[in-house]
Chain A
Amino acid sequence: MAQHDKIYLNPTPIRIWHWLNALGIVTLTLTGIQIRWPEFLNIFGAYKAAVSLHNTAGIVVSISYLLWMAYYIFVAGTLLKIYVPTAEDLKHGLLRQAIFYFFFYFFGKPNPHTPTPDNKFNPLQKVTYLMIMFLLLPLVIISGFLIMNIGPLREVIIAVGGLKLLDGFHYLIACCFTAFLFIHVYLATLGHTPFAHTKSMWTGWEEEDKP
């Protein structure tokens, strides 16, 4: 049987951010579905309720995003180190990690990446999280902010191609988030027990398996 070592992987601000963010994104997804297809889905009663909840959740996600950013930049100072893949990651790590997930994993081979507080993501995670946190999330926040203030920000909206394009863009990014969510939640069950990773996102401590 393997022996268990514990490392402190997820500091408190990150855990608060993460679950606030998860709650926010799930709320945004559900309300978003009702806003786009009100005649097929009515979860929150009145349409107006869905719209205000969507707006509120959007603000919560935006603020918690700032919290996340502030923590990694000002407190931990590890933002780039953790999230930006190295040249080595891109050259070999990415492929190695993908082959592991889709091939060696099934044969019981060990994970090529072992998380440490300063290098907690494998190359695949780095690339994905980088896209999510540095590209998609800011874009969805900015487009959402514009759509919330159509009147006053009309000029900006026209400059980026008009309300319709903006809305379509917002919708497509939201779909990317939903797609990510499926994969993300699933991969989170690939720890040594199905809830190991989730537990560490809750308590901060990851149980390391040493063979």
Chain B
Amino acid sequence: MHYSRVLVPIFAVLLIMVSAGFISAEVAPRERCLHCHGNRSVISSGKGYLYIDPHKFTATTHSRIGCSSCHDSVTSRHPADALRPSRASCKECHLPVVREYLGGIHAEKAACPDCHNPHTVRPAEVVSGADMNVQCARCHDNAGIIKKHGHWLPQAQLHITALPCITCHTGSQQYVINLYIQSRHGDKPRDGYAPATHDELAALVRPGVPVSRVIDADGDGVVSLEELRTFHRNAATRGMRLWGMMMPEKITHTYRILKNRWDCTFCHASGSKALQTSYLAIPDQDGRSIRIPVEKGAVLDLLYGTPDFYMMGTSRSSTLSIIGLAIVACGAMVPLFHGTLRFLTRKKRKDTPHGAA
């Protein structure tokens, strides 16, 4: 996680606020704002866009700087003054990100608030892969994207559900595997799986116990192979499974069509040392996904790692490779062994015929 991305802007804002004397002026506490904007009745009044979910807002980093830092022209008479409060522009605090983004191919296609609602933003490491793709799906219809990518990408649907778009379309780096718990929605097998919610998982543990105990049974903050195995054993009967996604750790906004993503071996050839690092991501009440480290090499493990996750060429099991090669070697020994004896005894068969292969 790159705290500088969050902390530097916060300090910048504080500095601006102090130097401009805002802090002493009319700082409206956010409770006052949320008294109206956090009230669900604004939705029913037909002005749903005015609604700010207090829960989600409080969970954001932005909540630390407060409403009026960004809406600084809001007056004490608002809304009676009929003035539309100002809205901060992201670049006031996130200049490096803005610069980076404007250099990419997407600069003209969408602005920061098209992907990020300033009232629900979260640091990247608590955003699940599926949620990241929801941001893109607002404009890029998922079915259409799968169809287009399917022209060149084998198993396009599978790829799109196991990768956030930004893994291929930005220069984001340092890939790890995040494991998400999914649950079946509906009774029929066809209904498919969706990310399990906090409440669904909470129902599986005793009240008051952290939901991560669903898998991390001993609560030591690390998921061991043993714990993964226990979860698998019970998962199917609960209508659950683990879903792996390949996530970048270091997020950048350098939007591009990366040429090397045409080449499957960019991901499918890193050998068995790659992807040693994986996390289990558990949703919390605020929709964030909190990561717990998983024992190293879990995704490479045939039986205890996630059984439904496999990256051809990359997460192959080396034990299995060796067993397979041993089988082939046994086969190759027969001609070698028999052929040698056959050569040494060739005189004995001078004119006797033989048959059958």
CA distance A38 to B263 in the complex (A): 12
A172 in contact with B327 given A38-B269, A102-B338, A163-B309 (CB within 8 Å): yes
Q: Which residue of B lies closest to A107 (CB)?
A: B348
B349, A108: Cβ atoms under 8 Å?
A: yes
Do the beta carbons of A47 and B309 come within 8 Å of each other? Answer: no
Q: Are A186 and B305 in contact (CB under 8 A)?
A: no
B281-318: contact bitstring with A at CB < 8 Å (1 yes, 0 no)? 00000000000000000000011011111101101110
Q: How far is the CA of A155 from the CA of B186 in the complex (A)?
A: 14
Task: Count residues on chain B whose CB falls below 8 Å from chain A CBs.
Answer: 56
Residues of B with C-beta under 8 A to A182: 328, 331-332, 334-335
Q: Is the CB of B351 within 8 A of A150?
A: no
B354 touches A190 (CB 8 A): yes
Option from B154, B309, B341, B353 in Cβ contact (under 8 Å) with A51: B154
CB-based contact A171/B324 at 8 Å = yes
Decide: A164 and B305 in contact? CB cutoff 8 A. yes
User: Which one of B270, B315, B317, B334 has the highest number of Cβ atoms from chain A below 10 Å of its Cβ?
Assistant: B334
- Check if B110 is an interface residue, CB within 8 A of chain A: no
Does A125 have its Cβ within 8 Å of any Cβ on chain B?
Answer: yes
The segment from A57-65, A72-80, A109-117 that touches chain B is A109-117
CA distance A162 to B244 in the complex (A): 13
Q: How far apart sit A107 and B345, CA to CA, in the bound complex (Å)?
A: 7
Minimal Cβ-Cβ distance residue in A for B156: A151
Contact B265 A38 (CB under 8 A): yes
Smallest Cβ-Cβ distance to A97: which chain B residue: B356
Separation of A122 and B354 alpha carbons in the complex (Å): 13
- List, in ascending order, chain B residues with CB within 8 A of A161's CB: 307
B155 touches A150 (CB 8 A): yes
A21-52: which have CB < 8 Å to B? 35-39, 46-48, 51-52
In the complex the two chains form, is A151's CB within 8 Å of B157's CB?
Answer: yes
Please give the distance in Å from B243's CB to the nearest CB on chain A.
10
Question: Roughly how many angstroms separate A73 CA and B346 CA in the complex, as a whole number?
Answer: 41
The smallest C-beta distance from A129 to any residue of chain B, in angstroms, reads: 11
Cα–Cα distance between A167 and B353 once the two chains are bound (Å): 44
Contacts of A185 in B (CB 8 A): 335
B300 to nearest A CB, angstroms? 10
Q: Is B264 an interface residue (CB 8 A)?
A: yes
Question: Is B331 in contact with A178, judged by CB distance below 8 angstroms?
Answer: yes
Taking CB atoms and an 8 Å cut-off, the chain A residues in 137-154 that contact chain B are 150-151, 154
Q: Are B310 and A167 in contact, with the CB atoms below 8 A?
A: yes
User: How far does the alpha carbon of A197 sit from the alpha carbon of B241 in the complex, in Å?
Assistant: 52
Q: Which 7 A-B pairs have the closest CB atoms?
A: A179-B331, A162-B307, A209-B353, A186-B335, A188-B357, A175-B324, A47-B264
In addition to A38-B268, A164-B308, A171-B320, 18 A-B residue pairs with Cβ atoms within 8 Å of each other are A35-B313, A36-B321, A39-B269, A47-B263, A47-B269, A101-B338, A105-B342, A106-B345, A108-B345, A122-B356, A157-B308, A164-B302, A171-B321, A175-B323, A178-B328, A178-B331, A185-B335, A197-B356
Name A's B-contacting residues (CB within 8 A).
1-2, 35-39, 46-48, 51-52, 101-102, 105-111, 113-115, 121-122, 125, 150-151, 154-155, 157-158, 161-165, 167-168, 171-172, 174-176, 178-192, 197, 208-209, 211
A-B contact pairs, 26 of them (CB 8 A): A35-B313, A38-B313, A39-B270, A46-B263, A47-B268, A47-B313, A51-B264, A105-B342, A105-B349, A109-B352, A125-B356, A150-B155, A155-B189, A161-B307, A164-B302, A164-B305, A168-B317, A171-B324, A172-B324, A175-B325, A175-B328, A178-B331, A180-B331, A190-B354, A197-B357, A211-B352
